A and B are shown apart, each in its own frame.
Chain A
């Protein structure tokens, strides 16, 4: 089945620092890949997605590229803000009937 490995958190950065959160996955076939963000006390919000190899998803300054050869979907942002403090989840989704599988997520804290 599908599974995902994310870098352990928490990650603490200063405002305007560069962010990378690593994500590697295992899945049968060629899954779609998603990053979700969860702010304190809230549900998950879709941040970005990519549906095929070499696709780049982007949103709110965040980017991630679907790398089939390394089965990775690392999240990056060039300059983080305090408002980016949240928990980030990477999740693969096969086009079959299996639901999204989540890891523990990576908590990001950005300090001013």
Chain B
């Protein structure tokens, strides 16, 4: 199975900060990577697919990059509604696998 490792596991940030979350795959996955946001008690919401394609309706402060084994999710200017847990998902091969999550908390 492909292991997805996110870093950091948790972080504190302030409104307006630039935030970067990294996801590393244990083997190459091309660009078959998606990012999800989950708020407490809510359903995960897809933000990014194909590593860098922004889901329709998602604010442009979210962006994704990377290919192969290293990927990043960047929030250019953190907003109050962005405090949540973020997950990456690889769907290059079966079984698909999620990262362990990155919790973004208010500093």
Partners in one complex: no
Which A residues are within 8 Å of any B CB, using their own CB? none
Which B residues are within 8 Å of any A CB, using their own CB? none
